[in-house]
Amino acid sequence: MQQQVSIWCAQLISCLLAAAANAQDEYFRQPEKIVKASNEVGERLGNYAFTYETEGGILQSEVGQRKHQGTEDEAQLIQGSVQYNAPDGTPVALSWTADEFGTQVRGTHLPTPPPIPPAIARALEWLAKQPSTTEQPEVEQKPYKAQEDTFAKPIVVKKQTFTKPLGLNKSQRF
């Protein structure tokens, strides 16, 4: 009996291992061969470009360059994109720009903000049609001068001495 149980356990374990070995992890793909690639490095620091395409249809490209080179505002600008098919077959396109203002990413699979409600859109249109109010009214500004009577006067408390406890009613005691 014990021998049958151990044989049964061994068979069960071997079946589970075989199933696990044959199952493909949906988040892991075998590396794909690159069918087309180019890589350029510019003569100036920060300038580069690369592109590649795989046999599975992944296409990626990126370009980097220096902005305002030699000035105090010098920054790196990177622009790129990638296209591929998700495991469920949905085409995905993603593009990005990174510079001194941060990174902006756009993609077909990324959520988008909801449309502006009609009432708000009408209010914005109405505001845009109104005359500009950039003119500020002229206000005479006088320098602040503190007056003597504007400050609080100190409160003088006389010293009190208690010789016997205060007489509290039973309802007033804690």
Q: If you average pLDDT over residues 78-86, what whole number do you get?
A: 91
At 124, is the pLDDT very low, low, confident or very high (cuts 50, 70, 90)? very high
- The full set of domain ranges for the chain reads 35-111
DSSP state for residue 135 in the 8-state scheme: P
The Cα–Cα gap between 49 and 156 comes to 80
The pTM (predicted TM-score) of the whole model is: 0.49
Identify which has the larger pLDDT, 170 or 30.
30
Pairing between β-strand 34-41 and β-strand 91-99 as defined by DSSP bridges: unpaired
The Cα–Cα gap between 100 and 77 comes to 8
Q: What pLDDT was estimated at residue 61?
A: 94
Q: What pLDDT was estimated at residue 27?
A: 59
